Structure 1
Amino acid sequence: MESKFFAINEQEISEELILDLVNNKINFRVFNITDITATVDFLEKTIESQKFSVRVYTENRSAVLAGGLIPTGFTQLAALGAGIGFALHNLATYNPDFEIGKSIGHDRITVTYKKSS
């Protein structure tokens, strides 16, 4: 069962709104994003300013790894490199307070509170 998320359009984002959501540990999604990198950076810095830890990841990463099933040297090497990178990143950001999931194909970011009270 999927958790409920507060929905925000990118144009509605403000530091005050994000701080309110984060400090109340409310999951939210940002839609209609024009610059996903800048928006993720803003969200990450705002969350970290409240002394919470954050992991940023790309949703549906398994599609990247599935490319390794195509039997060419390049795709297999790229998938291996991606898999190692994902594993190292997960270790470096183990047990975060919040996760920021980038859904690049959908121009959407999902912010989820991960620790139970």
Structure 2
Amino acid sequence: MMERVSFDDSMVAATNELIKKKESFEVTGCGGRLTEAATKVEQLIESQGLRCRIYTYGRVAAAGASFFGGITGVLGVASAVGMAAHNVATFNPDYEIAKHPIDNKLTVKYKKKK
């Protein structure tokens, strides 16, 4: 089970410790500040000399579903191209940060072997 950290003033110390240990964790209670929370976690990861990739959970499936038909098909292709370019730019990250807008949380996964 992943460690959970609440998005509040005490988050920084707990998050820094988990990143030092190269642990995966969740940030809960983000409310309407999901992007702010993702940016803060990104800064904490990068301050330790590590790299990360941020993405919206479920976005790939949504883009794939839109390939069928008209203007949504064009938008789906454009979205997929944009995601591919982002993945190349953030190739082989130490962490992946998934934004879960429905659940108002982040899932922060350490991707490299310890």
More displaced stretch, 4-13 vs 106-115: 4-13
1:112 aligns with 2:112: no
1:91 aligns with 2:88: yes
TM-score (normalised: structure 2) = 0.90
Letter in 2 for 1:100: I
Q: Which runs of 5+ in 2 are unaligned?
A: none
Equivalent residues of 2:5, 2:11 under 8 A apart: no
Match of 1:52 among 39, 47, 50: 50
* Inter-partner Cα distance in structure 2 for 1:13 and 1:49: 18
Equivalent residues of 2:5, 2:14 under 8 A apart: no
For residue 37 of structure 1, report the CA deviation from its aligned partner: 0.8
Letter in 2 for 1:68: F
Match of 2:34 among 33, 36, 44: 36
TM-score (normalised: structure 1) = 0.88
Aligned residues: 112
Alignment RMSD (CA, Å): 1.4
Q: Which runs of 5+ in 1 are unaligned?
A: none
Equivalent residues of 1:65, 1:82 under 8 A apart: no
